[in-house]
Structure 1
Amino acid sequence: MNHWPLWRQRLRLARTLFVHRWHAAQTVGEWFGNESVGERFEHINHVRSLAQYVWRCGAFREDAEGTGRIALPEAARGLQAIFKPVSAKGPDHFERAVRYAARFGDDTPSAFAVRDPDLAVLLSYAAEHADIRTFATELAGLHRAMLRYYVQMRYLTPTEAQTFGRGRVPLLTPLRATRRHPAEEGDGPLYKGPLPADLSGALLNTFARNIHHALACRARAELFQTLSANAQGNTVATEARGRRAGPGFTVEALLERRRTRFVVHDRALASMLASIHEPPMHPVIQWLAVFKTAVSTMITAMPVFIVKNFFRDTLAGFVAGRYPQVPFGGTLAGGAQAVRDLTTGRSEPMREYLLQGGFYSGLVESETHLADIRGEDGRLRKGLAARRTWSRLVYALTRPAWIAEAGTRVNQFERSRRAGATKYAAARAARMVSSDFANIGSSRGWRMYVHTVPFLNAAIQGLDQLYQIFRKPRRGDPAASARTADQRAHIRKVIWSGGCLAALSCVAWAFNGSTRARERAYQGETDYDKASWVTLYDVAGDADIRIPVPFQIGAAFIKLPEVALDLVAGRETLAGPKFVWSLVHGNLAVGWVPAVAQPIVEIRTNRNFFGDEIIPPYMANWPAERQYFDRSTPLPYREVGAALNVSPLHVQTVVRGWTGHLGNAAVVALDEAMWSERVNGPKPFPKTARLLTGIYSLQPPRPRTYTRFGNEFYAISDWAEGYARSGACSASNRSRRVPAVCRARTVAGRVRREATELRRQGDDIRTDIFRSRRAKERELEVLYEQIDAGFRLVLPELRALRRREFELVDAPTGVSSDRRTRPTRPRRPVRPRRR
């Protein structure tokens, strides 16, 4: 790889470090003509899925062709079933069973053991409880059943496997650990020493670590076997002969039943290999990761996210999946299998998908499972009980979101198998249907940082998805085809499916232009709304429907055709650089600040997640408890702000940043509960039911208080007001009078006053005790349509005035600080209510 152009080497290194962990191995396999190298390293992502299979179903091995995994009928009793009889009798009984199994396994205790008083007590207790002996025998048998798989993966040699098969298999440490757990040794405080708090988690963790080592050993063997067979392989890695291997990263692989050390000269490959075995992250990073997990859970567990992610995932799978699948219908069919698996545990497709390593690849799983708990130093970490309790809570809360997401992947897995794909290929197609979120960069510092920022990894993997599909591999053999037949077929399928989405986008565009009312609503979309949804206006009466746009696939195949039609037809919409940023931000939700600090940073910078001001400049000099919007800030935020003497908008920022959709739904429900119908009549536009059912993701907020026309009007109005305050409209000798600015200020001021008066009328309507909810909603929608119509009416003139003097007038500095001198807003007098 060293003979590649420098820019390509740097791109390969950066992608390995920060985007795709196994990219270095993929490129090595492509260059030397063995695609299995990259695929074997991707199998390391299967470790959690395979550990769950051992927990639920039992042992397994690889088939004779090396194209998938098969279950072992003779070891079909899972770890959970083995634990159940002894764990049901309480933690003390379970602990004694584990101590007995760790010391003896399925061996018969020797007569010498009876001489030890502590051991004699344990043996006496085991003699009275036959389930302990059964537990130890079955647990050791499950470990022995996995030895065949470890040999296949070149984790153990056949001789080593026979040794473990005849002797005691470690139950609390990996097979090749340098030291065993004290409870497994023949000396020391065997039966009085502490055991892990979560015994079942620790015993399962041993299987996970063994499987992880096995998968890594198989991948390394495939890599170095490929390099050793090629004359150019020594440019990437060389065999280390003798004790002193020389400079470079050294790693071991089992080739032809012989352990061989290799020195890796390629920086990207060395970083990737080093990332496979690392100690646990720093406790501070672990705590930040737990906090991020909590924030992500409160987002992904809510119906608003579930519905939105269902649409995004099924549309992304329709385009990016290797094999065609029906959007929505395929996801629902796969989701039905997921529901059956959760309720009965008897879904054969889900069990097969689990065995082939498909689980723990989705967005929800990547966001809500805790950081890796596999220690690589032979010790077991403490605090597992609390973490396992928290994991169970997260597991329960995120099952609805997981069902929707797993449905697309399971359906793709089934279709791949029916199309003739191997088990491994089908699992890879399923994991990549909407990005494999386990493909995180190899840089340890980067991974620690990503673990603390919600959905940052999802954004990165989303950006990388189409690149993986369309990337052109580099081959060392000039005569070899750059892409395989399967890769070319995948590209054709993606283009065809993406064309279908583009056609539907064109149909939606034409529908929104079929009437003047629909076109006005379409033209009024804000940059974020236009980037994040496809909205169909007035579908049934005045009801609108919006469809969430999948990540960058939606940007490429839905939004770009839509914007192209806008430009070709001359339809007045957003299509400039700001929309491009909104397209990236809205579809990928890129955030760069750790979850624990996100609201704090937003408050300090006075900018929210979307870049908008939290507290407008004209509120800066108001009392903190009065810094809120009368019509949109919920009452709970105002009450908390008044009690703490802080801005309610800051309270809102903290609640939304740390509690996500869950906190927002709770505050909305509390706000509606605090609304007094006896004093104010029915509350118009209630949102609680829509939030709790997820319909909120499919319908635009009503009334439309924010539109593109309103945003543009206030931007020009603030521009004119800032120039006027800097002297552009005065007749003093120190400044030049700018007629266009003065005219813009006059026109904008008149329209602002009219809009303010209409909003005050809306306040009276909103709190009118004699109007019904439906009547209030109709009248408020008419009022806000009038406000928006006023903005649309004057915008052409304001744009012309701004363009006229734009080249001559530069924006004055400190406009925001100038606006802060606005006098304190007086309290609005209480009007007498109608009788």
Structure 2
Amino acid sequence: MHYKIDGADHFATIDADTFGIPAELIVRGMEGIKTLVPDVVKMLGIPASILRKFITRSPAYVVRQLVREPVNAFIVSGVDGVPVFNALRQLANMRAGRSPEELALMRGLVVSSNIYTGDEADMQKFLNDVAAGRSGWDKFMGKLDTMALQADSATRATIYQDGLKKGLSEAQAQFRAMESQNFGRRGLSPSMQIMNTLVPFFNAQIQGLDVLYRSFRGRMPYAEQLEIQRKIAARGALLFVGSMAYALMMQDDEDYKKAKPEERYANFFVHIPGVKDPLKLPVPFEVGLFFMGLPQALVDMAVGDTKAKEAIKAMGKLLLNSAPSVIPAAPKPILEAFYGQTQFGPIESEREKKLEAGERFRPQTTELAKTLGGFTGAVGVSPLMLEHFVRGYTGGLGVSLMSVLNPLLRSGEEGAKVPLGAAKQPFIGGLFQTSEGRFYIDRAYERMDEIVQAQQTYKDYIKRGMPDRAAAYAREKSDLLMGEAMAGKFRQKMGELFAQERAIAANPRLSEAEKERQIEQLKLLENNYAKQFYAITDRTIPR
């Protein structure tokens, strides 16, 4: 029987005759105590499994892993070289079947990821596939899984190769690569096992936090020999300063300024010639927020037009999103629909809620959702809500697959279709940041709500016979109370612009280019009007 201790190979010969215990029982006993997950939990875990598969099979997942994981390894694992370039080179070798690092990791049982963890369920699935054969669809899904697995393994292969170059033995290099993100570590806690079944990527988030903690404490494998703590400090400082320089440079970029703060701090925007929407390069989940997201927030507060409370709120959202979720995947979309809110914002905007449920859709809403929404709208379920449910249980890939039916279901009454930017395209849209942005508009609507609340509070004090309290409140909230007329005008104007945008999109006499031009002008007016309204009602801006 072969096994490893601290990465070193060992073996033992079992004398079953002396003790009268079959060898297979001894080996099974050494596997550890298995936590039995109740059948009802397994059933509730089916939506989490489906969601995880859809997310990992999306093309966007592969791209994000090839950007996010190498940068994370560059910081917390002390890997030398150019992070993303090294991972891309490893992936190219894997796809061509000439990666010795991949073979070494497979021989050492180091390969594990969000797709394959090497547990008993994975083994059983593979054996069933071999025994029953695989259909054409299963083979296609298998190719997508292989691509995602290799994207996950590319960074491990880089870590393994880096370890060999720095004098580690093959076993030590394999152990270091495995511990960079060990998906096979699950512990013995029944609660953690249940949460891992119910929540997709729960174990990945736990392991990410564990690696971050051990890296900062110098407890990663061979940390002293590889000088990991020194490299974390040096490289973290380099990324911190570089991110501040990037944020300063982007203060003149309209796409950057129109993006929500949480979108800015979680990504780097890169403009591609000929593409209107910038490409989003995601930062690592945990360490990236500190060394790459926080510097941007500091610059935005210092020289940008982002308020401190807005930047702090955005960083809080990102930190909350990077923490392991405790809401099971099965009821999560239903709960979000009940409250009308996801972790990224409202499902339907305030002006969309004023429309009948069946008419709540956007230019990028799929024709299938519009068609079904015509029926479900009678019970208050809009096309936007239908897509929310699909996205909640199948990720962005599910909505992209719905868009395949667009040519068949489109009525053609509206004439030319309004061109969609790269950020709204199926399958690849998640890789881009929409140039339309929502920051200025959302902030203006929040200010409008503050004005309405202030007015209602003041009137309530008067009705309850509290004139002194009302006068004190009026002095404290004078800027908001004076903005009542402007808030009403803002609501009316934005509603008119929204109606004009829909009318242009539905006009069969306009060409595709003309629709795009007119809608872009309306979007510009919306953002400028929102900025103007916010500036007038902001008492912190000198006037």
Shorter-chain TM-score tier: 0.7 to 0.9
Distance 1:445 1:511 in 2: 47
Listed one character per residue, the Cα deviations across residues 286-315 of structure 1 (whole Å, up to 9, x for unaligned) are 333343222111111011222222211222
SS in 2 for 1:652: helix
**AA in 1 matched with 2:198:** T
Which residue does the alignment assign to 1:327? 83
The residue number in structure 1 matching 2:526 is 787
Tell me whether 1:296 sits opposite 2:17 in the alignment. no
Q: What percent identity do the matched residue pairs reach? A: 20
CA deviation vs aligned residue, 1:772-822 (integer Å, no higher than 9, x gap): 43443333223212211111122133222999xxxxxxxxxxxxxxxxxxx
Q: Secondary structure at the match of 1:800?
A: coil
Match of 1:628 in 2: 360
Distance 1:391 1:284 in 2: 27
Specify the alignment match of 1:747 in structure 2. 486
Q: Secondary structure at the match of 1:787?
A: helix
Partner of 1:511: 249
Task: Answer whether contact 1:436 1:461 (CA < 8 A) is retained.
Answer: yes
Matched, 1:797 2:529: no
Which secondary structure state, in structure 2, belongs to the residue aligned with residue 546 of structure 1? strand
Aligned CA distance change for structure 1 residues 282 and 403 (closer, same or farther; 3 Å): same
Deviation at 1:715, TM superposition (A): 1.0
SS of equivalent to 1:749: helix
> Is contact 2:35–2:190 with CA below 8 Å preserved after alignment?
no
Match of 1:411 among 154, 158, 180: 158
Match of 1:638 in 2: 370
2:228 maps to which of 482, 490, 494:
490
Question: In 2 relative to 1, CA 328–673 (structure 1 residues): closer, same or farther, beyond 3 Å?
Answer: farther
Q: What is the letter of the counterpart of residue 505 of structure 1?
A: S
Residue 400 to residue 383, structure 1, CA distance change in 2 (3 Å): closer
Q: Secondary structure at the match of 1:639?
A: helix
SS in 1 for 2:483: helix
Q: 1:608 to 1:450 in 2, by over 3 A?
A: same
Alignment match of 1:591 (pick from 321, 325, 328): 325
Report the equivalent of 1:600.
Answer: 334
- Residues 1:553 and 1:391: Cα distance change in structure 2 (over 3 Å): farther
Q: Is 1:534 the counterpart of 2:251 in the alignment?
A: no
The question of 1:547 aligning with 2:281 is answered: yes
| Aligned ranges 1:330-341 → 2 under 5 Å | 330-341=86-97
Structure 1 residues 280 and 526, CA gap change in structure 2 (3 angstroms): same
In 2: Cα distance, 1:62 partner to 1:370 partner? 18
**Alpha-carbon contact 2:90-2:154 (below 8 Å) kept:** yes
Q: Is the 8 A contact 2:248 2:299 kept in 1?
A: no
Q: 1:579 to 1:620 in 2, by over 3 A?
A: closer
Q: Considering Cα pairs closer than 8 Å and 6+ residues apart, tell me whether 1 or 2 has the greater RCO.
A: 2
Gaps of 5+ in 1: 1-59, 70-151, 165-169, 179-209, 217-275, 375-380, 474-481, 804-835
Distance 1:308 1:755 in 2: 36
Which residue is equivalent to 2:291? 557
What amino acid sits opposite 2:342 in the alignment?
Answer: N
Tell me the equivalent position of 2:436.
Answer: 703
The Cα shift of 1:559 comes to 1.0
| Secondary structure in 2 matching 1:709 | helix
- Find the aligned partners of 2:461 and 2:294 in 1 and give their Cα distance: 46
**Judging changes above 3 Å, is the alpha-carbon distance between structure 1 residues 742 and 570 closer, same or farther for their aligned structure 2 residues?**
closer
**Whole-angstrom distance in 1 between the partners of 2:314 and 2:414:** 43
Question: In the alignment, which of 189, 197, 211 is matched to residue 465 of structure 1?
Answer: 211
Distance 1:776 1:598, change over 3 A: same
Quote the Cα distance in structure 2 between the aligned partners of 1:363 and 1:497.
27
Inter-partner Cα distance in structure 1 for 2:133 and 2:193: 20
Q: CA–CA distance in 2 between the matches of 1:62 and 1:619?
A: 60
Q: CA–CA distance in 1 between the matches of 2:424 and 2:453?
A: 43
Shift, 1:419, TM fit: 2.1
Contact map agreement 1:502 1:561 (CA 8 A) in 2: yes
Q: Is the 8 A contact 1:606 1:613 kept in 2?
A: yes
Q: Is the 8 A contact 1:685 1:702 kept in 2?
A: no
Distance 1:371 1:439 in 2: 15
Deviations 1:329-388 (A, max 9, x none): 2112211232234xxxx753322211222111x23334x9774778xxxxxx99997899
Compute the TM-score of the two structures, normalised by the length of structure 1: 0.56
Distance 1:307 1:665 in 2: 17
Partner of 2:79, secondary structure, is coil
Change (3 A) 1:385 1:584: farther
Residue of structure 2 equivalent to 1:445:
191
Q: Aligned pair in 2 of structure 1 residues 358, 595: CA closer, same or farther (>3 Å)? A: same
Contact 2:479–2:538 under 8 Å retained in 1: no
Aligned partner (choices 175, 190, 194) of residue 428 of structure 1: 175
TM-score (norm 2): 0.83
Structure 2 residue aligned with 1:456: 202
- The structural deviation recorded for 1:499 is 3.4
Structure 2 gap ranges (5+): none
CA distance 1:633–1:325, shift in 2 (3 Å): same
Matched, 1:364 2:115: yes
Q: Which amino acid letter does the alignment assign opposite residue 280 of structure 2?
A: R
Q: 2:352, 2:237 → 1: CA distance?
A: 49
Q: Distance in 2 between matches of 1:405 and 1:326?
A: 17
Cα deviations by residue, 1:415-436 (Å, 9 ceiling, x for unpaired): 2112211222211222244x22
Count residues in correspondence. Answer: 527
For 2:499 and 2:354, locate their aligned partners in 1 and report how far apart those are by CA, in whole Å: 23
Q: Does 1:352 align with 2:110?
A: no
* Residue from 472, 475, 497 that aligns with 1:758: 497
Computing the radius of gyration over CA atoms, which structure comes out larger, 1 or 2? Answer: 1
Higher helix share: 2
Q: CA deviation at 1:177?
A: 2.3
